[in-house]
Amino acid sequence: MNKQGKKKNASSAGARARGQSNQRPSSCCGKVRPASGVDAGPLAWFNDMVDHCLDYAAAQKKQGKHIVGLTCEYTPRELILAAGGIPVCLCGGDEGMIPAAEEFLPSNLCPLIKSTFGYSVRKENPFLELAELVITETTCDGKKKMYELMAGNRRMYVLELTQKPDDPDALAHWIAELRKLGGVLAEQFGVRITAGKIRDAIALMNRERTLRRALAELMKAEAPPLTGCELLNMKSIIAGIPADLEQYAKALRVLPGRKLDPPASERIRVLLTGVPMPHGAERVIKIIENNGGLVVCQENCTGIKPILEDVDAGAGDLMLALAEKYFHLPCSVMTPNRRRLDLLRRLVAEYRPQCIVEVIWQACLTYDVESFFVRRLAEEELGRPYLRIETDYSPSDSARIGMRIQALFETIKEHRTK
Amino acid sequence: MIYAGIDAGSRAIKVVLINGRDRRVMGSGIADQGLKQEALASRLFDRVLKRAGVRRRGIRRIVATGWGRDAVTFADTTITEITCQACGVYREQGDAKTVVDIGGQDSKLIRLDTGGKVRDFVMSDRCAAGTGRFLEVVAARLEVPLGSLGELAGLATKPSAINSMCVVFAETEIIGLLASGEKPANIAAGVQASVSARIASMAGRNISEPVVFTGGVALVSGMTQALESALGYPVRVASRAQLTGALGAAILASRPE
């Protein structure tokens, strides 16, 4: 852990101004518009997600809460919340941050890592500038080594994520890591993390996961009431904001029955898997949906993967309960990562996609190599066409990706008319 | 009824006209691609029509394909080159199971189902490695016309190992080889082998015979042999290898919607 270089936090006003210039929420799915007049309030609410998060972070800070950055779904947000922290996802989705990162990092590295680091170099992620602590894990090698550079001027804590998911020793070590993290948070923020606080945090996160899961499950319908882009857009980078939870609940009331234009029946149902698509890096999902697809399921860390399992708030050993939930995440850094294949089997049965599209950020070795198993599962076992797209944040290959998506859809339609 | 397919590729535009009754080819033409894509396609189309003695309004339906397909605004619809290639190759070689198409700026490998339907496909990603553009750069560097690259490669005694898959780096590598006194023939053979190896690795182990080779690069001498030795299967060059995409587009145009 690196304790040096604790930065003075940027004023929230300055941070906000920067946030507005650099983190504009992207409007999703330009061509695709809902047709019916049903209240689209919750969808519109999340168009201003970054602004809401900035307001919330500033207000919470004023009340003595601590902004804590995280860069991976393995970080248990519950522990941060229980320590009086506000967990914010720092994953970078902006291509514009990459050149600054490449002054320090190799260009042949995943764009997510470079963009996240570029924000740090340029001090342009207002949430990172507000953060008192950044919690990370030893996930992929690229991230792990980038954190060493980031630790030069940020207060960071690295959890050692063990990577043999079925090994009891690995879980035991992970539990020990979470206990240490609890100690670090308690010490840094001068609080006692009580079982009651952890339980409250678990209940809050369970509520958020339950709502987001229910939204994702709307896509199981023959005619889903929203697009994959819209669903992705309803993800907040700060967990547990009460106003967000209200909007999720409202969305669940108003969205069913909403009709898409073009209608779902004319689109190809797609299951998206692979790397996460952080805010600002939604390009591929837009290409899929603008070319006649409907992404009914997103098996990735910005989709359904981290919200499938809840934590037992009534468990006797809360640390164990937390550790288990997070350790079950089927990320490609795990070996072997059978849980991901099992999850794909289940999601294909539940969401009935007509094809599987895997997105791999360039130089993401673990997802790239693991795509061998995903393709085999898709084509040989599940009988679904599989398309692998390796790309980065630059739009230079959008036409090529679009062409491949179109060709995939043509093939599926051709076989349907057989 | 007459139907037209226009394949607006990155380096060349191809037009094919077919008769809807028997789907026989009534005319075809090839022109260089350029800046004014729509005008170039239109001019070529008119030329092919004139030669075939057909008027524009005699054309029932036009399908555009290829990278520039959206620029062909006078087409009735567009279909991707994957689907069109498969259809065109099926028409030319009905027993084909695998299509290797190497065009100006990308390479594709298409596996066919029965009836010329696409089973699956893989394509080269962002860069120009293993494409016609790559061979053009190399030919220019070795100061031979693209068409003579194979003849030059035929004189090789020991093909050079070209490792760079990036067209820019490969050029640098070739400059280095030339500087160290390597024979151009060895370099030419090495480049053809490296392009073919790229296709083979893209294919993985998913090759079924017969393999049919299409696209402009299929016409470059020596490439078929290089591809055969990389894939380990015999490779047939499609008749009308450069026109199969446009042919497929014309056939698809003639299908009831």
Whether residue B140 sits in one domain with residue B116: yes
A107 falls in which pLDDT band (50, 70, 90)? Answer: very high
Tens-place pLDDT, residues B64-91: 999 999 999 999 999 999 999 999 999 9
Question: Can you tell me the distance from the alpha carbon of A311 to that of A379, in angstroms, rounded to the nearest whole number?
Answer: 34
Give the rounded percent of residues in chain A with a pLDDT score beyond 70: 90
- Quick check: B120 and A397 CB within 8 A? no
Task: Respond yes or no on whether ipTM tops 0.85.
Answer: yes
What is chain B's pLDDT, residue by residue, as a tens digit (257 residues)? 999 999 999 889 999 999 989 989 999 999 999 999 999 999 999 999 999 999 999 999 999 999 999 999 999 999 999 999 999 999 999 999 999 999 888 889 999 988 889 999 998 766 666 788 888 888 998 999 988 888 999 999 999 888 766 666 778 888 889 999 999 999 999 989 988 988 888 888 778 999 999 999 999 889 999 999 999 999 999 999 999 999 999 999 999 86
Whether residue B186 sits in one domain with residue B63: no
Longest dimension (CA), chain A: 68
Mutate to test the interface with B, among A372, A389, A411 (most CBs of B within 10 A): A411
Domain that holds residue B107: 95-237
> Measured in whole angstroms, how far is the alpha carbon of residue A107 from the centre of its chain?
23
Whether residue B172 sits in one domain with residue B75: no
Bridge partners of B28, per DSSP, are B16
Residues of A in contact with B117 (CB under 8 A): 411, 414-415, 418
Distance from CA of A227 to the nearest CA of B (A): 24
Residues of B in contact with A399 (CB under 8 A): 67
- Quick check: B126 and A391 CB within 8 A? yes
Please report, to the nearest 10 degrees, the dihedral formed by the alpha carbons of residues A210, A214, A220, A222 taken in order: 170
Q: What is the mean pLDDT of chain A?
A: 91
Please state the domain count of chain B: 2
Whether residue B7 sits in one domain with residue B84: yes
Whether residue B217 sits in one domain with residue B108: yes
Task: Name, of A32-41, A88-97, B215-224, the range with top average pLDDT.
Answer: A88-97
Residues of A in contact with B123 (CB under 8 A): 400, 404
A3 falls in which pLDDT band (50, 70, 90)? Answer: very low
A416 falls in which pLDDT band (50, 70, 90)? Answer: confident
Whether residue B116 sits in one domain with residue B8: no
Domain containing residue B32: CATH number? 3.30.420.40
Whether residue B84 sits in one domain with residue B103: no
Contact predicate B146/B119, CB 8 Å = no
Whether residue B77 sits in one domain with residue B186: no
Per-residue model confidence (pLDDT) at position B129:
67
Structure-token pair, residue A269: 């149902």
CB neighbours of B243 closer than 8 A, spacing ≥ 6? Answer: B7, B14, B16, B28, B30, B88
Mutate to test the interface with B, among A410, A412, A416 (most CBs of B within 10 A): A410
Tens-place pLDDT, residues A17-32: 334 334 433 444 444 4
Per-residue model confidence (pLDDT) at position B51:
97
- Quick check: A410 and B118 CB within 8 A? yes
A38 falls in which pLDDT band (50, 70, 90)? Answer: very low
Ordered by start, the domain boundaries in chain A are 260-417
Q: Which helix (H) or strand (E) holds B31?
A: strand B25-32
**Preceding peptide of B210 cis, ω within 30°:** yes
Residues of A in contact with B126 (CB under 8 A): 391, 396-397, 400
The class level of CATH for A260-417 reads alpha beta
Asked if the C-beta of B205 comes within 8 angstroms of chain A's C-beta atoms, the answer is no
By C-alpha distance, which of A281, A287, A293 is closest to A235?
A281
A206 falls in which pLDDT band (50, 70, 90)? Answer: very high
Per-residue model confidence (pLDDT) at position B126:
61
Average pLDDT over residues A184-194: 97
Cα Rg of chain A (Å, integer): 21
Residue written as tokens 């996609």? A353
Whether residue B155 sits in one domain with residue B61: no
Contact predicate A273/A297, CB 8 Å = no
Whether residue B111 sits in one domain with residue B233: yes
Q: What's chain A's length in residues? A: 418
Per-residue model confidence (pLDDT) at position B229:
93
pTM for this prediction: 0.90
Beta strand pairing call for B25-32 and B12-19? antiparallel
Average pLDDT over residues A248-270: 96
C-alpha distances (whole Å) from B56 to each of A116, A235, B33, B47 are: 55, 52, 21, 11
Question: 3-class DSSP state for residue A88?
Answer: strand
Per-residue model confidence (pLDDT) at position A393:
96
Per-residue model confidence (pLDDT) at position B166:
67
Whether residue B81 sits in one domain with residue B141: no
Question: 3-class DSSP state for residue A273?
Answer: strand
Whether residue B192 sits in one domain with residue B177: yes
Tens-place pLDDT, residues A300-337: 999 999 999 999 999 999 999 999 999 999 999 999 99
Residue A90 confidence (pLDDT) above 90: yes
Average pLDDT over residues A195-212: 98
